[in-house]
Amino acid sequence: MDNLLQQVLSETEFLSNNGQTEHYERFEALVELRQSLVDRIAAEGPLSAGQKMLVQAIMGHDHAIMAHMDRLKNEAAEGLIRLQGYQRQRNGYSQPAYYDGFMFDKRN
């Protein structure tokens, strides 16, 4: 348990300090790691005083982590809006593939 707490704390500290340059995959890995920590805490029961201090240290970085994750979410949303704009523009200039009528040329 202590090893997992230390691992979560070190990853949390790294991402809170260097989150501007990291990709979303690293944050996903942190979320999964934190979930495994929560599951383990729920399974094992009460924490010792030292473990509680480590959890408090992890929670102290939550604001910075959430700010970085919100930035990534906003970047993704802006990218989707741009992509939808490109699709609308492409669809506006493309001609439909249906015909209003046919003309037959009969030669005798």
pLDDT at 96: 63
Strand ranges in the chain using DSSP code E only, listed in sequence order: none
Residue 90 pLDDT level (bands cut at 50, 70, 90): confident
What number of other Cβ atoms are within 10 A of residue 30's Cβ?
20
pLDDT tens digit string along 40-52?
A: 999 988 889 999 9
Could you tell me if 8 and 34 are in contact, meaning their C-beta atoms sit under 8 angstroms apart?
yes
| Whole-Å CA distances, 96 to 67, 89, 103 | 45, 14, 18
108 pLDDT above the threshold of 90: no
Question: How many angstroms separate the CA atoms of 4 and 35, rounded?
Answer: 11
* Domains of the chain, residue spans: 2-91
